[in-house]
Amino acid sequence: MTTLSRETSAEEAERRKQTFQVELFKSKQWEELKDQIMEIERSAFGDKAEMEEELGSEFENPENVGLLLREGKDNSVVGYCLGVPNKDDQTGKTLHISSTALLSKYHGRGLVVKLLQAMDVQARQRGFEFYTRFTRADNNYAGNLQKAYKDFILEVGEPQTTEYGTQVRIRMRIPPEDFYNK
Ligand SMILES: CC(C)(COP(=O)(O)OP(=O)(O)OC[C@H]1O[C@@H](n2cnc3c(N)ncnc32)[C@H](O)[C@@H]1OP(=O)(O)O)[C@@H](O)C(=O)NCCC(=O)NCCS
């Protein structure tokens, strides 16, 4: 019993020590990271996961912004977010967030916010002012985004049934630098 409670508090202490960092995907990293990224992709999207070649070329395209969420203990990649310039906006000011995913065991802890905050920094640095997204409504991600970014939302489309379930198109302004400190 004593051993069990000691182990439990040691585990808790370990869990509390867990830290997460966001890092920019660098050119030529796909080969090294593809197994970890594909595991996240499959864990988040199941049989709707993108093919390795497609996701690899999106990450390796220098126009795109790839972000990795790393878990501090062993530095493994546990999430990613990918931004792709939206060519429909001819002013070049819109970044389309084409995918955001975390390994399923890390869902529900608000960790996505770290990726989104870091994406804002990268997007602003590259001169983007707007995001578009096609977000899932079935797991309430679309609802969470609309709540969290309510002051910045410009357009919310009608829910659409797609092969990925019900999705909603969202266009929003990129929040200002001090948004997350408030
Ligand atoms: C969708 C997904 C990326 C969300 O990441 P997460 O870290 O699990 O997010 P959480 O469920 O912890 O939600 C974030 C919480 O922070 C809140 N929040 C605060 N700021 C937020 C922000 N900027 N954006 C989103 N949520 C925010 C949300 O309201 C939510 O609060 P709640 O706990 O009251 O619901 C993740 O669950 C995932 O990978 N799912 C499978 C793949 C997927 O559906 N990707 C999206 C495709 S469109």
For 115-159, write each residue's pLDDT tens digit.
Answer: 999 999 999 999 999 999 999 998 899 999 999 999 999 999 999
pLDDT of residue 14: 60
3-state secondary structure of 138: coil
CA of 58 to the centre of ligand 1 (A): 22
Asked whether residue 4 is domain-assigned, the answer is no
CA of 175 to the centre of ligand 1 (A): 17
**Of 141, 164, 181, 182, which is best to mutate to test ligand 1, by the most ligand atoms within 8 angstroms of its C-beta?**
141
Which H or E run includes 134?
A: strand 130-136
Asked whether residue 58 is domain-assigned, the answer is yes
Q: Are 145 and 135 in contact (CB under 8 A)?
A: yes
Containing structural domain, residue 72? 19-181
3-state secondary structure of 128: coil
Rounded Cα distance, 152 and 110, in Å = 20
- Mean pLDDT for each 10-residue chunk of the chain (182 residues)? 57 67 96 98 94 98 98 93 97 97 94 97 98 93 95 97 93 96 80
3-state secondary structure of 27: coil
What's the total number of domains in the chain?
Answer: 1
pTM: 0.89
Q: Which CATH number covers residue 157?
A: 3.40.630.30
